[in-house]
Structure 1
Amino acid sequence: MNVLEAIRTRRSVRAYLPRAIPADVLKRLRNALRFAPSACNLQPWHFIFVAEPSRRQELARACHDQTWMAQAPLTVAACGLPDQAYPHMGGMGSSVQIDVAIALDHLTLAAVAEGLGTCWIGAFDESAVKKLLGIPDGVRVVALTPVGYPASADLIHPLEESQRKREAEIFSAERWGNPLR
């Protein structure tokens, strides 16, 4: 599967098989995270791979009781290290959230290429997640994602054109509002 196919095929999967992810696949997923770009190549991140079932269940509770998350054999907590990030990203401050998001997106696309599903989790109690995973002060939890084999093949299929905004709604040429030719 090429990267454009992975982009069109990636979905938020909320039902998983209880099938283990092979070690070689996990290694490729870790490499997808490691080789992601970041501002000034600072790599202000740390990723916690949580495979222990009871800990995954506790994480699901800390994610506002999204209990379906614990079905997946793995949950990845994507953490940002603000002190290691580029301090001025446009008008938005530190690059930490953007850098971690880019890396996590690399993981989600690599997972699709491996036949795995993910679901970006932004609804969580950060204090509870930090306590559960022993995350130190000064480190931020940016997002989490379960990773596993989808419970049904119907959960992974390419997006249809009709499911996306038209190009004219989201692209401009040279200046805002100028249509692409």
Structure 2
Amino acid sequence: MEMLPEIAHRRSIRVYKPEALAGDAINRILEAGRRAPSAKNRQTWRFIVVTDREKKGKLAEASFGQEQVEQAGAVFALCTTNVDYIMPNNQPSHPVDIGIASAFMMLQAEHEGLGSCPITTFQEADVKVLLSVPHKMRVVMLLAVGVPGERGELTPRFPPERVVGYEHW
């Protein structure tokens, strides 16, 4: 089982074909997120799937007009159910946990032949109202997933010597 080609091939897709996603694909993407590791295995997340066209349009409005939110076959709202847990390294766990879950979900989408785009620019209060997210919970990220309308170019990555250190910085 080789994963690196899918990792290397994945890119953020910002144009989608107007096609619905198969329920099985959505379920496998959700399963990938559900199986992601989390701090102390707390699994303090909730994933909300939005496929309704009108609701995706409102999510796009809350995302400052990002068209890929409305175009995607599905938008996943990745929420935390515990904003208070601080890990022993003095970092909140929810951004890390949601980041890992979203990476698993994006790789599963790529494996399904779908495109994805993480969305972090949105008005959280508006999204929470639209999706009935309880006041104390947080919407950390939206993830647009759909049939790519265009693949675009791979964005260049820094060379390993710029981002990797062994035994010290």
If the TM-score is normalised by the length of the shorter chain, which range does it land in? over 0.9
Matches of residues 159-174 of structure 1 in structure 2 within 5 Å? 159=154, 163-174=156-167
Establish whether residue 151 from structure 1 lines up as the match of residue 149 from structure 2.
yes
Alignment-derived partner of residue 38 in structure 1: 38
Contact 2:37 2:100 (C-alpha < 8 Å) held by counterparts: yes
Alignment-derived partner of residue 18 in structure 1: 18
**What are the superposed Cα offsets for residues 72-129 of structure 1, whole Å, 9 maximum, x if unpaired?**
111110001225x74225132x211100110011000100011111111010000000
Q: C-alpha distance in 2, partners of 1:164/1:145?
A: 22
Contact 2:14 2:67 (C-alpha < 8 Å) held by counterparts: no
For the pair shown, which has the larger CA radius of gyration, 1 or 2? 1
Q: C-alpha distance in 1, partners of 2:43/2:58?
A: 28
Letter in 1 for 2:133: I
Contact 1:40 1:86 (C-alpha < 8 Å) held by counterparts: no
**What are the superposed Cα offsets for residues 157-178 of structure 1, whole Å, 9 maximum, x if unpaired?**
7x48xx21111111111111xx
Contact 2:53 2:70 (C-alpha < 8 Å) held by counterparts: yes
Q: 1:28 to 1:47 in 2, by over 3 A?
A: same
Percent identity, aligned pairs only, is 37
Q: C-alpha distance in 2, partners of 1:173/1:4?
A: 21
Local SS of the residue matching 1:141: strand
Kindly state the Cα deviation for residue 67 of structure 1 after the two structures are TM-superposed: 2.7
- TM-score, normalised by the number of residues in structure 1: 0.87
Local SS of the residue matching 1:88: coil
Alignment-derived partner of residue 68 in structure 2: 68
Count of aligned pairs:
169
- TM-score, normalised by the number of residues in structure 2: 0.93
Letter in 2 for 1:87: I
Contact 1:12 1:119 (C-alpha < 8 Å) held by counterparts: yes
Letter in 2 for 1:103: A
Give ranges in structure 1 of 5+ residues lacking alignment.
Answer: 177-181
Letter in 2 for 1:147: V
Contact 2:68 2:144 (C-alpha < 8 Å) held by counterparts: no
Contact 1:80 1:140 (C-alpha < 8 Å) held by counterparts: yes
Q: C-alpha distance in 1, partners of 2:24/2:51?
A: 16
Give ranges in structure 2 of 5+ residues lacking alignment.
Answer: none
Contact 1:42 1:86 (C-alpha < 8 Å) held by counterparts: no
Alignment-derived partner of residue 3 in structure 1: 3
Kindly state the Cα deviation for residue 7 of structure 1 after the two structures are TM-superposed: 1.1
Local SS of the residue matching 1:19: coil
Q: C-alpha distance in 1, partners of 2:67/2:160?
A: 37
